[in-house]
Structure 1
């Protein structure tokens, strides 16, 4: 049994929590994935944006009431552990670490490609190390950096949304294929799931029962509006401004910051329960999980060595959808006193995640199942040895 550790300090208000969520959502998805989806499905990209937002709202509200009932670090890892089964919680934690580490590596590789395509892996690793160093200084300072990044990001998105149309209008619409549209919905939903950073930081948010749901709703509304605006801009052939291009890479830094920050809290929670080395549960003299931050920074840097952006994003999509399916299943177990929203909301969230996951390529499913199996064996071994 792992030794108890000190609680993290509550330093983030609604504004800080919204910055965390937006900083995670307004990155790879809106600058990279949305343009790809628009090119593949044409006008149906707007449907994907809408469906993704609706599914994200169901999941966000369920995540919010869970985070309000259990305002501790860990997100679905903690909820699965407490409300379902230890192995369900462990699986959620493992999938979150894998999914978001892959997403962080994707952002870092994109940054590296911008600086020096021929040395993109080396520059990606450098970006991870720099961002990890910023986080080590503490959540409050990271929030200040994140606010600056977010300001530039939103300015860049607005510059594209209101940019004049050019010669890139999609006149010949791609033929409608249900599989492509549903896959687009899955990709866009995954892009929205940055709101999960708010839940994983539950132990550090002031008045979590009131502020977590409020922050999630604000985050999703703002994100959906910006995603729809950008999709319409691509469809009418808007010419990307220089500010938009610069903001894209600044946003990737913000995504990297928020992912490493949120992942370190999940690793902290897993270490507290003894699912990983207890070393990662230690807090430094400032009350920060320094070991967990450095551990996640190292994992993301290692994944950068893969050098494959497309594979990393697809893997992230599959693992994220399973993660949120576990989270919705946990929401079904809330007591009437804990429940803030109707129970059917959890059923809809669970069904939508499983349905969208069905459209992820089977190869990625196979890799995901292998990772889950390996993780189960590792946890069983650690349990037996402890």
Structure 2
């Protein structure tokens, strides 16, 4: 009887994995990512969405295996360092940290783009307020997570209905000319929409860990829902705006509403989109902190960053990441931050999949093959990204090992 009474509570706890993970994935990728993807591939971006989902699913499987073998913060980084060596570990850490900083900048810029008043300073302030909330120990869980998650499909439903309620304006001769060659770059950009799965597959804290059945079912729901929502929104805004106008839209959903003669809904949709992205911003900071704590424990960051607030949160570490993200949000557009974040994290997960491949060498064949597929997809998509994003990623890949070597006096 005791086991039976525990079952409903366990099922309720495991069900919490869905909003916890899905809430971390749906954000700027849905509300902003379609615009830079359209600039790279036009309407062909729709084919890039399932490719990005497959790459992210491989990465999720690899990080789940790494989390079992290496408990605690930064499981993927720890596995890479243990299985591949110090330098690959530092490259993976550098790209992951910059990727999460860029993700925070993109999310903050996305929230600002959907607000009535537009200013880069608003994005910077949003990042710093998120740091304060994280330092205070704010965690969105349980019923609040489900309620917050519901904002995204509600906003999506409004926009989709408006897009199909009125015929789109004719597209002029200046329509964007694109080819299928842009699909890998669009897939790499849309990879950003799937980030956040590590909150379920590789949590930094044991209290956030879910059993394998819950993790497996949550992953299926998360990736299926994300692909479906992205495709529905993509088809709808392309129908209403066309690829050329979509590529130039800083806030695609608001632009689609205006084009569909539903401008009266822009305030409601803008507020809903901004609110829906706030927990994702907090989740990006948590992922930054997770890897940074693992790097700190290896001595590759100054011990100064290990200072803790009353609740045990590393406030200087959070503040450092927040200041970097705030500065980036002021300097670059959200679309540029999205491509930089996606490129950095693709490189990071290429190493993560390689580490998982070595970890699973004597284990299940299909999981090892999925890790191999993840390596190939991540490398191809990263190499297809815009040149500025690749240069920023290269900088992180070089600076990570250099700074770690200088601080520890160890180069291998």
User: Displacement, 1:115?
Assistant: 4.6
Residue in structure 2 matched with residue 220 of structure 1 by the alignment: 223
User: Displacement, 1:102?
Assistant: 0.9
* Deviation >6 Å, runs of 4+: 169-173
User: Displacement, 1:97?
Assistant: 0.9
Partner secondary structure for residue 288 of structure 1: coil
Of 335, 338, 352, the match for 1:327:
352
Of 247, 265, 272, the match for 2:290:
265
Residue in structure 1 matched with residue 305 of structure 2 by the alignment: 280
Q: Unmatched 5+ residue regions in structure 2?
A: 1-11, 242-255, 258-264
Residue in structure 2 matched with residue 185 of structure 1 by the alignment: 187
Q: Aligned ranges for residues 1-386 of structure 1 at < 5 Å? A: 13-38=13-38, 41=41, 43-113=43-113, 114-117=115-118, 120-138=119-137, 140-141=139-140, 146-163=145-162, 164-168=164-168, 175-204=177-206, 205-237=208-240, 240=257, 241-242=265-266, 243-335=268-360, 341-384=366-409
- CA pair 236-91 structure 1, distance change in 2 beyond 3 A: same
Mean Cα deviation higher: 97-106 or 178-187: 178-187
TM-score (norm 2): 0.80
CA RMSD of aligned residues (A): 2.9
Q: Which has the larger radius of gyration?
A: 2
Mean Cα deviation higher: 158-167 or 44-53: 158-167
Q: Unmatched 5+ residue regions in structure 1?
A: 1-11
Partner secondary structure for residue 365 of structure 1: helix
Q: Count the aligned residue pairs.
A: 372
- CA pair 137-214 structure 1, distance change in 2 beyond 3 A: farther
Partner secondary structure for residue 359 of structure 2: coil
Give the Cα–Cα distance (whole angstroms) in 2 for the partners of residues 69 and 48 of structure 1: 32
The answer to whether the 8 Å contact 2:339/2:389 transfers is: yes
User: Displacement, 1:46?
Assistant: 2.5
Give the Cα–Cα distance (whole angstroms) in 1 for the partners of residues 388 and 322 of structure 2: 27
The answer to whether the 8 Å contact 1:33/1:188 transfers is: yes
TM-score (norm 1): 0.85
The answer to whether the 8 Å contact 2:18/2:222 transfers is: yes
